[in-house]
Amino acid sequence: MKVFLKGLLYVPCIGLIAFYLYVIALGFYPQVSEQYRAYYIDHSVSMWQG
Amino acid sequence: MKKTGRRTGENIKTAATVFLIFVLSRLLLTFVACAYNYMTQGYAKTWDLLYKFDALWYVDIAENGYQSVPNSVTGYANYAFYPFYPIVLRFMKCILPDRFTTNQIGVIVSNLCTLIAGYVAVQTVRRKYAEDKGYFIAFLIFFAPHTIYFSMTYTEAMFLMFTALFFYCCGRKHFFLASVAAFFAAFTRIAGVFLVFSLLLFQYEAEYGWSVSRSKLSGFIKGIFARPLRLLGLLICPLGIFGYFYYLYRLVGDVWASAHIQVAWHNSYGSVLRTLFYNLLDSGSGTSSQYWALYAIFGITMFAYLCYKKEFAAAIFGFLAVGISLRTDAIAIARYIMGNFSVYIALYELLRNRQQAKTVVMSTSIIVTGLMYYMWFAGECYFIF
C-alpha cells in the first residue's frame, strides 16, 4: 500500500514537468503582431506603435 | 501538558510584543501623515496619501483584470505585475463591505502581511539563537528605511511574509510546507522562484551539513528522485508563475510578455556589473542612480556576509533575487533589497551582539523612515521609488 501511494506521488510530478516543458516550448513560438515582435521581442524599433 | 501551556503563553507574549512594535511603527506613519497635512494645510486621508505609483497598477488589475494589448501611447501594460496579490485584493473586495475601496483593502492586506512577517521572523531567529528575544528583526521589518512599501498597496509585504514563512519552515525542517510558501512567494513576485535553490541547499545541509563531496552530491540528487514527496515539493515552487506564463500566452500570445514589457519602462544594461558601473558613474538619473547603485552594493555586501556566516541558503536567494533586477537596471533596487528576507537575516546576525550599533541603527531607521514617508506623501520620491 505504502509503495503504491509513493508511486502515485510520481504522477503529479510527471504532470508538472510536462506542463513546464510545454510552457517553455510555447515561449519559442509567440503569437503576436509584427509591431509587438519588433518593439518588445526583437528591439528592432525604439518606439511602440501599437 | 504544562510545557505546551507554557509555550502557548510564550507565543502569545511574543505576538503581543511584535504587535506593539508594529503599532508604534504605524503611529510614526500616521504622525508623519498628520505633519504633512499640517504643512500643506490639507485634509488627505493616510490611505490616499499612500496611493501612488505601482499601487495604481495593482488596484487596476484587481478591479479590471489584465489588459491584452499594451497602452497605445506609453507601451506599458499591467501584466508586468504578478497576479497573486491582486487576486487576494479582488477576493477580499468580494467579501468585505462595499465601503472599502480596493486601495484601502490593499493597505489592510499589506499591513497584515507585515505583521505576520514580523512575528514569523522573530520565531525564525529564535530557532537559531534560543537565547535571543529576537524582537530586533521585527523592528527592522517595521522601521528600517525603504520598508514604507509594507504599509501600502504594493506586493513587498506579501512577498516578505511568504519568504519569512519559507525560512521558518526550512528552519524546522518542514520542507514540503516551505515549498508551499515558496509557491506563493513566486506567485506574488517572480523573484520567489529562486527559493527553490535555497530549498535545495537547506535539504542538503539537513542531510550532510556543509561537507561536500561527489558521492554526497550524487547521493543527494538520487535521494530527490527516490522520494517523490521531496520531488513534488521542488516542482510546485514555480507552478504559480508557470501558470501565469501560460495565462499570458492565452491573453497576449507571448509566454514571456511580463518580461518583454519591461522594455517600455527602461532599457536593460544586460549585466550586473554594467548596471552598477553606469549607475555609479554615468547615468541620466543623476544622484538617484548613484543612490540605487550604492544600495545595491550594500545589499550584495549583506548577502556576502551571509556566505561568511555559512547561511548559504539565505545568501543564494538574496544574490539571485537582487541579481535578476540588477541585470536590467538599478532602478527601485532599494525596495527589492529591503523586501528580501535575507537582508533582515544578515542585519540581525550582524548586529545582534553589537548593542551600540543596534541603537544607532534603530534611531536612524526611525528618522529616515519618517522622512521617507513625508517625501512619499509629497510625491518628491523619485530616489526612494
Using a CB-CB cut-off of 8 Å, the residues of chain A touching B193 are none
Closest approach of chain A CAs to the CA of B129, in angstroms?
Answer: 36
Please indicate whether residue B121 or residue B328 has the higher confidence score (pLDDT).
B121
Residue in B245, B254, B263 closest to A43 by CB: B263
Within 10 Å of residue A34's Cβ, how many Cβ atoms? 9
Please give the model's pTM, rounded to 2 decimal places: 0.96
Q: Which chain B residue has its CA at the smallest distance from A30's CA?
A: B254
Q: Taking residues B122-145, what's their average pLDDT? A: 96
How would you label B216-254 residue by residue, b for 16+ Cβ within 10 Å and e otherwise? eeeeeeeeeeeebebbbbbbbbbbbbbebbbebbebbbb
- Residue B95 has a pLDDT of 97
Residue ranges per domain, chain B? Answer: 2-265+362-378
Please state, rounded to an integer, the average pLDDT across all residues of chain B: 94
- Residue B329 has a pLDDT of 85
Give pLDDT tens digits for B237-256.
999 999 999 999 999 999 99
Instruction: For an interface test with B, give the residue of A9, A19, A24, A26 to mutate (most B CBs within 10 A).
Output: A26
Residue in B69, B231, B263 closest to A50 by CB: B69
Contact call for B255 and A27, based on CB within 8 A: yes
User: Is residue B282 predicted with pLDDT exceeding 80?
Assistant: no
Structure confidence at residue B280 as a pLDDT band (50, 70, 90): confident
Interface of B with A (CB under 8 A): 69-72, 74-75, 228-229, 231-232, 235-236, 238-239, 242, 245-246, 249, 252-257, 260-261, 263-264
- Residue B270 has a pLDDT of 83
Give pLDDT tens digits for B42-70.
999 999 999 999 999 999 999 999 999 99
User: Is residue B328 predicted with pLDDT exceeding 90?
Assistant: no
- Residue A12 has a pLDDT of 96
- Residue B286 has a pLDDT of 64
User: Is residue B1 predicted with pLDDT exceeding 80?
Assistant: no
Give pLDDT tens digits for B202-222.
999 999 998 899 999 999 999
Residue of B67, B61, B142, B136 whose CA lies nearest to B103: B61
A43 and chain B in contact, CB less than 8 A = yes
- Residue A3 has a pLDDT of 83
Contact call for A27 and B245, based on CB within 8 A: yes
- Residue B117 has a pLDDT of 98
Q: Which chain B residue has its CA at the smallest distance from A25's CA?
A: B255
- Residue B196 has a pLDDT of 97
Residue of B208, B179, B189, B174 whose CA lies nearest to B312: B208
Q: Dihedral of CA B1/B3/B4/B10: which sign?
A: positive
Give pLDDT tens digits for A2-46.
788 888 999 999 999 999 999 999 999 999 999 999 999 998 998
C-alpha cell at B383: 530616489
Contact call for A16 and B249, based on CB within 8 A: no
Q: Taking residues B108-119, what's their average pLDDT? A: 98
Residue in B228, B231, B260 closest to A40 by CB: B260
